[in-house]
Amino acid sequence: MKLQVIGCNHHNSSVEMRERLAFSPAQLRDALVRLRHLFPEAETVLLSTCNRVELYFAAQEAVRCPTHHQVVEFLAEFHGLDPATFFDELFERTGEDAVRHLFTVAASLDSMVVGEAQILPQVKSAYDQATEGDATGPLTHTAFQAAIRVARRIARDTSINQRRISIPSVAVADFAKGFFERFDDKKVLVVGAGEMAEETLRYLIDEGAADITIINRSRERADRLAENIAGKARPWEQLDEQLSGADLVVSTTGASEPIVDANRFEPIHRNRSRRPLFVLDLAVPRDFSVEVGEFSDVYLYSIDDLSKTCEANKLAREKEWPKAERMIEEETARFMTELNHRATGPVIKRLRAQADDIKNDELKRLFNKLTDVDDRSRRDIEQAFNRLVNKVLHPPLESLRDEAQQGSPHGLLDALKRLFQIKD
């Protein structure tokens, strides 16, 4: 019985290489089909995100899983790459280490931003797609269902997932959600169209934001971001007009000085008719001058305000980290014990069946000779034979259970098969 993972992630591979090895949804389906053809007796799950490309395999016999070289050859052929360019960037973990890695990934303890909420749905989606493609089996079902359960336990019993430490996640979860009860009825204006703007927007969309306008000096970039997130782009010249109608502003430009000072904001403020305005100024230097925050009904937060919350969350999360790690170790040990018990199950079943066959043959032979035995005596004899068989089998089966609790019982299993001549 073997479990393994081969792949790359943000710890050991560059973003350029991860992009070259990544699978689109359509490619992922095709890849699972090809892997089933190449390794028909191996169960497979393929996890591909922006930070990792990991292939999980499992099989009852270790030789049925692909080797490191075979996975490299598959990836090279699929993506049209030279194997030498990425061979050393792929890690491999097997057995208990593979299980621990899967649990850690699902619980977002291996993420670039620890505690981020996206990875568990991505792990579930990868498992579901592999199942739909008939690529999974008993071992991967057990492993991935356990990983999902472990991730939920850590989310429930620690504050790892609650303590956000990225600027965009803190901006939305710790600041905007503290101000607005809902986002589906709010006008959101994003000034700037870079990575910070896009990440913040995705958090807002997750909270229900739908009325989104993007303004950027480069209209092309604004159009591109609007297309990606289903918002609408407007020309830079409409900035004052859009500020007059917005409820929430996210500003992330690269301007060297404020784009909105008190003089510019004064007529905008009059046009707003005392409607509250919430501004998340994520730009460095600031896009909104400090004086703008002094206007009535304006709630202005800069990246410095958010950074303090990020640091406090990071310290709080670090206190929870050992607790989460202990949970991972507990769950990994429990899983391996259960898995090893499962490995012994078929042998125990065949050994008992073999002993029962011998017992029944001997009872039949004995009762054929003892024709005058009454029913009560017959039952007493049968019970005596049953106790004898159980006592004879108890020591080897107890040793097998103890061995399974300590680790893989393959050595003892093989010995029992030879001693009792148990056939596969």
Where in the sequence numbering do the catalytic residues fall?
50
CA distance 40 to 19: 28
List CB contacts of 104: < 8 A, sequence separation 6 or more.
110, 328
Nearest to 199 by CA among 117, 317, 320: 117
CA distance 145 to 229: 32
Instruction: Report the DSSP beta bridge partners of residue 3.
Output: 58
What are the structure tokens assigned to 307, written together?
Answer: 């950074």
286 and 259 Cβ atoms separated by less than 8 Å: no
List CB contacts of 284: < 8 A, sequence separation 6 or more.
303
| Residues counted in the chain | 424
Nearest to 144 by CA among 81, 212, 98, 190: 98
CA distance 378 to 371: 10
